[in-house]
Amino acid sequence: MTTALTGEEVARRLDEAVPEAVEEWKAGDVWVKPQGVLEVCRFLKDDPQLRFDYLVSVSAVDYIEHFEVVYHLVSIWNNHSLVLKARCRDREAPSVPSVVSLWQGADLQEREVYDLMGIAFQGHPNLKRIMLWEGFPGHPHRKDYLEPPR
């Protein structure tokens, strides 16, 4: 059975390794500051006890007052999991650092989030639309997206 690490446990480890990165924690989730995502992920991946070697998915949710980027992480080595979240409060130009340099599996998923939710991933090697065509107006997964009149 995959053990879901508690947010408290991971937040304590993170506080030692990457000071002031953690915003909040609850049950199995940890919220970090968006600008610190890359350092946090690097620690989670490289730490011999945590060893999150597998990025399951990258999602984004539009909560209107902020965007939330959600990373589901699993350690195949230790069979435990964690949900890492980052809130982007800048609605005009939301951005988080890309984690492609750590997990290549983030490549297409970050492009999808960029395409449909409009969150830019800084440092992504090939950040362009994936499902929709270049020049498509807006980002359909945002809650304020309106279908253009035909």
Q: Which residues bind other proteins (CB under 8 A)?
A: 1-2, 53-57, 59-62, 70, 72, 76, 79, 83, 103-109, 112, 116, 129-133, 140-141
Which pair of tokens denotes residue 118?
A: 């409009």
Comparing CB distances to other proteins, the nearer of 79 and 122 is: 79
Q: Count of CB atoms within 10 A of residue 55's CB?
A: 21
Comparing CB distances to other proteins, the nearer of 3 and 20 is: 3
Which pair of tokens denotes residue 135?
A: 């020049």
The DSSP line for 43-58 is: HHHH-TTT---EEEEE
Q: How far is the CB of 120 from other proteins (least distance, A)?
A: 19
SS3 for 20? coil
Comparing CB distances to other proteins, the nearer of 40 and 83 is: 83
Give how far Cα 85 sits from Cα of 33, 131, 132, Å.
9, 24, 26
Q: How far is the CB of 106 from other proteins (least distance, A)?
A: 8
Q: How far is the CB of 90 from other proteins (least distance, A)?
A: 20
Q: How far is the CB of 5 from other proteins (least distance, A)?
A: 14
